[in-house]
């Protein structure tokens, strides 16, 4: 299928994922339908799980991590292995509301370590024989399959998840959900000169920040932000929404164009840096900028050349504080690639 147009699509589409395909297969199909090269999903759903799968297109793919951290809602069916008194069921559901501990399943995309998650609320909708239909709103990263298994252990009978459908991811809900066929039809109509259907499906990027404080910057500061600079008082035109220290803020130009997002560093503007830019959404000479990623492994120590040699280098002490040719250093001089040269000698 031909592209919608030569311009990049920057926004979101909520797909009603059917059971069967993987979330990555949905990525591929949306890419083929829309003609947009950059497509990603928010929160992977197992092949046998259906419901809200938020698809990010173009520059909106940079916002996936922000959306992924939002709470999610599901409707699920739990199957008990034996009959359980309804009073016990209600008590267990109450016990598992709030802070809980979970061990991710063996087949998961995260490390299998015990971690804490929050169940904001759970409501039992129906109990029929050994089946329990319930809704749950939970913190991102909660495994509903594991939740069902753990509640079954506490009930004393054992249980498993029989069915699951996602109802929402943050502010992305079933209210604007569409099948792949509906998306395909809307693209065909758009290519035929009738864009209204596609426009009703497509959600712009700034939807993510509709409830977030906003920082309007001066035109003179835009270029610096594109190049990765943080925001100082001199570059701010106005604030919208009374942002406080630690808040995620959206950065807009005076022309109401969303160009970046970051963390507020102060409660009141003074001479200090105001916003720590996390990501840049506006292209800089055709390049898509991400200033710094939220890397959860950032505390891992990295070996620095010349300070500590790798354990498999024999006789490392022999080369310590020596130059490229085995001569001692003089003064405070030190070769820049000492560790590299040692490895090079070892390879020979």
Q: Is 279 exposed, middle or buried (0-12, 13-18, 19+ CB in 10 A)?
A: buried
Distance CA 121, CA 115 (A): 19
Pairing of strands 11-17, 177-178: parallel
In the chain, DSSP assigns E strands to 11-17, 39-42, 50-57, 72-80, 98-102, 115-128, 131-138, 159-169, 172-173, 177-178, 203-204, 214-217, 236-240, 248-252, 258-264, 275-280
| Cα gap 248→225, rounded to integer Å | 16
- Rg of the Cα atoms in the chain: 26
Q: What is the separation of C-alpha 315 from the centre of its chain, rounded to a whole number of angstroms?
A: 45
Active site residue 206: no
Largest CA distance in the chain: 83
Closest CA to 92 of 161, 167, 159: 159
Q: Which residues contact 230 (CB under 8 A, 6 or more apart)?
A: 262, 273, 274, 275, 276, 277
Separation between Cα atoms, residue 133 and residue 342, nearest integer Å: 64
Q: Which of 46, 163, 247, 283 is catalytic?
A: 46
Question: What burial letters (b/e) apply to 49-64, b meaning 16+ CB within 10 Å?
Answer: bbbbbbbbbbbbbbbb
What residues are labeled active site?
Answer: 46
């Amino acid at each position: 299928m031909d592209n919608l147009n030569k311009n990049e699509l920057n926004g979101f589409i909520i797909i009603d994922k059917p059971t069967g395909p993987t979330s990555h297969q949905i990525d591929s199909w949306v890419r083929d339908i829309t003609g947009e090269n950059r497509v990603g999903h928010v929160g992977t759903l197992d092949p046998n799980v259906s419901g809200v799968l938020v698809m990010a297109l173009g520059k909106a793919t940079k916002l996936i991590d922000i959306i992924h951290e939002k709470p999610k809602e599901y409707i699920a069916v739990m199957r008990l292995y034996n009959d359980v008194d309804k009073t016990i069921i209600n008590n267990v559901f109450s016990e598992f509301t709030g802070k809980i501990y979970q061990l991710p399943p063996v087949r998961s995309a995260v490390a299998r370590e015990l971690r804490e998650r929050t169940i904001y609320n759970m409501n039992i909708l129906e109990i029929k024989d050994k089946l329990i239909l319930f809704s749950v709103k939970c913190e991102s990263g909660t495994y509903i399959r594991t939740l069902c298994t753990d509640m079954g252990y506490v009930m004393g009978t054992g249980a498993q998840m029989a069915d699951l459908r996602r109802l929402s991811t943050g502010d992305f809900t079933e209210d604007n959900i569409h099948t792949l066929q509906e998306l395909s039809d809307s693209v065909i109509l758009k290519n035929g000169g009738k864009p209204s259907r596609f426009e009703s499906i497509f959600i712009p990027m700034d939807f993510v920040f509709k409830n977030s404080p906003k920082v309007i910057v001066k035109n003179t500061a835009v270029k610096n932000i594109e190049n990765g600079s943080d925001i100082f008082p001199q570059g701010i035109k106005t604030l919208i929404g009374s942002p406080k220290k630690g808040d995620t803020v959206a950065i807009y130009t005076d022309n109401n164009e969303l160009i970046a997002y970051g963390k507020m560093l102060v409660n009141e503007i003074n001479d200090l840096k105001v916003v720590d830019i996390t990501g840049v959404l506006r292209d800089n000479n055709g390049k898509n900028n991400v200033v710094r990623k939220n890397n959860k492994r950032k505390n891992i120590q990295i070996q620095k050349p010349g300070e500590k040699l790798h354990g498999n280098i024999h006789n490392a002490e022999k080369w310590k504080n020596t130059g490229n040719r085995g001569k001692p250093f003089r003064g405070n001089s030190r070769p820049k690639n000492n560790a590299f040269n040692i490895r090079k000698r070892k390879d020979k």
